[in-house]
Amino acid sequence: MAILLLENGTIHSDLVDIARELSPLGIYLTHYESSTSGFLADLLSQEILTDKEKNYILESHNSLFAFLKKEKGYVGNDLLAVHPGLPYLDTLIATCSSYHTHTAPEALYVLSGNIIFGFVQPDGQQVQIILHPQDYIHIPAGVEHWLSPTASLHCKAVRYLTIMEGCIPYYTGTQKSDFLRKQR
Q: Which CATH number fits domain 3-182: 2.130.10.10, 3.40.50.2300, 2.60.120.10, 3.40.30.10?
A: 2.60.120.10
How far apart CA 119 and CA 117 sit, in angstroms, is 7
Q: At what angle do helices 62-72 and 51-59 cross, to 10 degrees?
A: 60
Residue 63 has pLDDT above 90, yes or no: no
- Mean pLDDT over 129-141 rounds to 95
How far apart CA 101 and CA 44 sit, in angstroms, is 29
Q: What is the pLDDT of residues 72-82, one digit of tens each?
A: 889 888 999 89
Q: What is the pLDDT of residues 6-59, one digit of tens each?
A: 999 999 999 999 999 999 999 999 998 876 667 888 888 888 888 999 999 898
Q: Is 134 left (phi over 0), alpha (psi -120 to 50) or beta?
A: left
